[in-house]
Amino acid sequence: MRNVTLCAAVFLGAFVALHGAFAAEPGPTAPIVGEDLVFEEVDGVLAVEAEHYYKQTLNDVRSWHRFTKQRQPKLTPDADPPHLTDASGDSYLEILPDTRRNHGEKLIHGENFINQPGKMAVLHYKVHFNTPGKYYVWARIFSTGTEDNGMHVGIDGAWPETGQRMQWTGKRKWVWGSKQRTAQQHGGERHKLFLVVDKPGPREITFSMREDGIEFDKWMMIREKKNAIEGHGPKPTVKTGKLP
């Protein structure tokens, strides 16, 4: 009996050594893709699932947390329930904790709000552009309050004015948007939110927090000027690496 038990223990140890990496699931703020994953622009369209960032930085105060059907973060406060219904890829991200959803809740700069881009909760994506030019940035967002519907977008470590203050007005459903909040239009103006790609080649696209509680499903960069994107949008194209 002792030899049988010993053999079983040895077998179990070998199995864990070989397969343990596959059993371990990354935490809700950790990347689920490798650093070799690069998305590709084709015919003026680049599409990426929000949860496929290769790293997250400056997230000691607020972090993007991944929601899936198998796992929903329990971090509080987070007053709204998960919104996995109709989420592209059955997964999305939310900045938590969420302490300010509406005007009546206290605004704390550098904690639940940051108007300066690239300072808090930054997501990083590797992409490759075949066609240079001006690209309008779209993102698919779920918002429930008046103060959980803004973020920023940048390129190659820079945060141009045309990528700041992304704003959404749709509520309580997943909605595509490409508007920039301005002094004249707090709800955002169309066709002002864009990034310029000066030449073909690899780039890094980044998104950073403006308001906590924002829920982020997918993003796109397109050369065509549009007023709306329907459904889940186009499927991502991978240049190198593998999707999870």
Q: Does 75 fall in a domain?
A: yes
CA-nearest of 137, 128, 138 to 177 is 138
- Domain of residue 110, residue span: 30-240
| Per-residue model confidence (pLDDT) at position 8 | 45
Walk along the chain (244 residues) and give the pLDDT tens digit of each residue.
444 444 444 444 444 344 444 446 789 999 999 999 999 999 999 999 999 999 999 999 999 999 999 999 999 999 899 999 999 999 999 999 999 999 899 999 999 999 999 999 999 999 999 999 999 999 999 999 999 999 999 999 999 999 999 999 999 999 999 999 999 999 999 999 999 999 999 999 999 999 999 999 999 999 999 999 999 999 999 999 999 9
Q: Does 9 fall in a domain?
A: no
Q: Does 24 fall in a domain?
A: no
Phi-psi region of 56 (alpha: psi -120 to 50; beta: other; left: phi over 0): beta
Count of domains observed in the chain: 1
Q: CA angle at residue 232 from 228 to 237, to 5 degrees?
A: 105
Q: Does 2 fall in a domain?
A: no
Q: Does 38 fall in a domain?
A: yes
Q: Does 70 fall in a domain?
A: yes
Q: Does 17 fall in a domain?
A: no
From CA 135, how far away is CA 154, in angstroms rounded? 12
CA-nearest of 202, 64, 186 to 130 is 202
| Per-residue model confidence (pLDDT) at position 24 | 64
Domain CATH code at residue 50:
2.60.120.1620
| Per-residue model confidence (pLDDT) at position 19 | 44
CB-based contacts of 13: which residues, under 8 Å, 6+ apart?
none
Q: Does 10 fall in a domain?
A: no
CB-based contacts of 109: which residues, under 8 Å, 6+ apart?
115
Q: What is the DSSP string of 108-131?
A: -BTTTB--STTSSSEEEEEEEESS
From CA 7, how far away is CA 200, in angstroms rounded? 58
Whole-Å CA distances, 50 to 15, 53, 122, 157, 211: 34, 7, 12, 18, 17
Residues 139, 155 contacting (CB under 8 angstroms): no
From CA 229, how far away is CA 134, in angstroms rounded? 18
Do the bridges between strand 38-40 and strand 122-129 make them parallel or antiparallel, or are there none, so unpaired? Answer: parallel
